[in-house]
Amino acid sequence: MKKTDVIYNLAEILGCDARKDEPMSKHTTFKIGGNADTYIKVANPSKLCAIIKECKSSGIDYFILGNGSNLLVSDDGYRGVAVRLDGEFRRISLIDENTIFCGAGASLAYLCKFAKKCCLTGLEFAWGIPGTVGGAVYMNAGAYGGEMKDVVHCVTHISPDGKLGRLGSEELCFGYRTSAYKSNNMIITGVTFKLKKGNPDDIQSLMDDYLCRRNTKQPLEYPSAGSVFKRPEGYFAGALIEECGLKGKCVGGAQVSEKHAGFIINRSNAKAVDVKQLIKEIQDKVKSEKGVDLQCEIIMI
């Protein structure tokens, strides 16, 4: 009997979709990762509170799984509980003419489509980012001059002891690929966005332009976790990597993309150890030749 079986049994009692020994390779855009002891899809805040409180009282590790688009899971898997926000956590509603409330489990694509339908502008930069709303706020996702911090009004969350809470925009401590949620151990459950009225044709045109740029410049034909490294101040990570002659470099089935050196792709049944080794070799060479420390943007489980 595994330690996490107590959480699996509770999830079944609560009517959650619960699975044992679930391959994380099925839930990450890298298509890499061993089995999580328990995987649970949770449909509402009360069930999430119950699961998290039991994990805490039983000393069981857990993590919140979004779309797995910025995640590298160990080949040995995860000795804990992977929690996926579903059901109510994926709902979106219009609060007033400029305000949208969105569950943390909803995809950014769904949110962008909803905003366009409501003739609201400000989220076009997020079109094509393959993540969930909660994950995007957690890391202050951004592209093409826009970031979550520009449009987020407030965020609701659940604490590790199962209490509901809320942070306003001034408390979110947004920075480059970071927020207060990277250190406060709270679970993001919903996000309120303040947007502006716009013309739906103009909104669609901007979304199409950004998506075209992504398709042209990024290796979307291969599994990856997006940009591997944060942008070092005064530089571009991809350019530094290319200047060091690392474009196309392989370790096992992992490869520095020949299309965009800021990406590592799963070219041929790559393992997590391949990706980690390639990341280290990139960091070492860029530090040696350029004197720049590259910091990982990918979250490793």
Q: Say what angle helices 5-13 and 45-58 make with each other, to 10 degrees.
A: 160
Phi-psi region of 270 (alpha: psi -120 to 50; beta: other; left: phi over 0): beta
Q: How far apart are CA 17 and CA 175, in angstroms?
A: 35
In the annotation, is 227 catalytic?
yes
Decide if 177 is catalytic: yes
Q: Which of 69, 224, 227, 257 is catalytic?
A: 227
Structure tokens at 270: 């790559």
**Active site annotation includes 170:** no
Annotated active-site residue in 177, 224, 257, 267: 177
Q: Is the distance from CB of 39 to CB of 84 less than 8 angstroms? A: yes
d(CA 170, CA 5): 40
C-alpha to C-alpha distance for 250 and 262, rounded to whole angstroms = 14
Could you tell me where the beta strands, DSSP code E, fall in 78-141?
78-85, 92-96, 99-103, 120-121
Catalytic residues: 177, 227, 297
